[in-house]
Amino acid sequence: MPLSSKLFALSLALLLAACATTDQDFNKNVAEANFKLGIGYMQSGHYDVATEKLLKSLQFDDTNPETHNALAVLYEEVREYGPAETHYKRAIDLKPDYALAKINYARFLCNHEPARIPEGESEFQKIAADSANAGVTAADAYVGLAGCARKRDDAVQAEALLRKALESNPKNTAALYELAQISQNQNKTLSARAFLQRYHAQTQPTPQSLALGVLIETAPDGDPQLRREYTKLLRSQFPNTDETRRLNKPE
């Protein structure tokens, strides 16, 4: 082949490769933009628009496990359980070590499929036992197992699993919050207060956590000053929530 022909062929190949790369980058950028928009709309409660954006993201990149996981969470939130399971499985197929999707899927099985609770528990146990999932992920798995235990009305095992979660990660906020709730239900005010204070030391207060604080300190052995502080924070930071409306409702 003449040199000029070789150079032409090489130039054409490079041009085609550049075009392919540009197209690929374009698709990735569009997919990422729609993914971020979808997450934003999810967080603000605009689920219809969020679904549209996440599906649009998958049109441009069907291989992103994070998008499939987000869409699964969204479908689960709006009670479309068939599509939710499909996207959870797709996320895990794309990224077999995707611990968050595995945890979400196991929780999904326990929460929405009573006959599949043992399957969900099995998935959580695998996550907790995997040395690659040590630390925070293992703690999250124990919290998930506690949720499965509650679905089986086994409160004793649920509490034991939550305490095991704290052994794995003493800063796990989900375990701290749920143990505060359990202690409050058992009229163990000092224990409930301690768990809730540890929770607030790790994360910002929520309407639910502040309302729980009010409830804990309303007990006969509660702290009136703490109750007033929780009440003030709830009313000032979250004035339009159900928790504040219940607090303001005359008895």
Is 55 a member of any domain?
A: no
Structural domain includes residue 188: yes
- For residue 14, pLDDT beyond 70: no
User: Rounded mean pLDDT of 121-138?
Assistant: 84
Residue 152 lies in a domain: no
- Give the single-character DSSP code of 222: S
Residue 37: inside a domain: no
2 pLDDT higher than 70: no
- What value does the CA radius of gyration of the chain take, rounded to a whole number of Å? 24
pLDDT of residue 235: 94
Asked if residues 221 and 208 have their Cβ atoms less than 8 Å apart, the reply is no
* Percentage of the residues of the chain whose pLDDT score is greater than 90: 75
**Residue 44 has what pLDDT?**
86
CA 75 to chain centre: 13
**What is the structure's pLDDT at 10?**
44
Average pLDDT over residues 113-140: 87
What pLDDT, on a 0 to 100 scale, did the predictor assign at position 5? 43
Question: What pLDDT does residue 18 have?
Answer: 54
Residues with Cβ < 8 Å from 238, sequence gap 6 or more?
206, 207, 210, 244
pLDDT recorded at residue 221 = 96
Arithmetic mean of pLDDT, 125-132: 85
Q: What is the mean pLDDT of residues 25-30?
A: 86
pLDDT score at 19: 54
Rounded Cα–Cα distance for residues 101 and 92 (Å): 6
pTM tops 0.85: no
Residue 89 belongs to a domain:
no
Using one digit for the tens of pLDDT, what is the confidence trace for 58-80? 999 999 999 999 999 999 999 99
> Looking at the domain assignment, is residue 225 inside a domain?
yes
pLDDT of residue 251: 54
Is residue 113 exposed (0-12), middle (13-18) or buried (19+ Cβ within 10 Å)?
middle
Classify 64 in phi/psi space as left (phi over 0), alpha (psi -120 to 50) or beta: beta
Q: Number of folded domains in the chain?
A: 1
Q: Give tens-digit pLDDT for 170-217.
A: 999 999 999 999 999 999 999 999 999 999 999 999 999 999 999 999
For residue 117, being part of any structural domain is answered with no
Please give the residue range of the domain that contains residue 226.
173-251
Minimum mean pLDDT among 31-35, 80-84, 120-124, 126-130: which range? Answer: 126-130
Q: Mean pLDDT in the chain?
A: 89
Residue 197: inside a domain, yes or no? yes
Query: Binning pLDDT at 50, 70 and 90, where does residue 143 land?
Result: very high
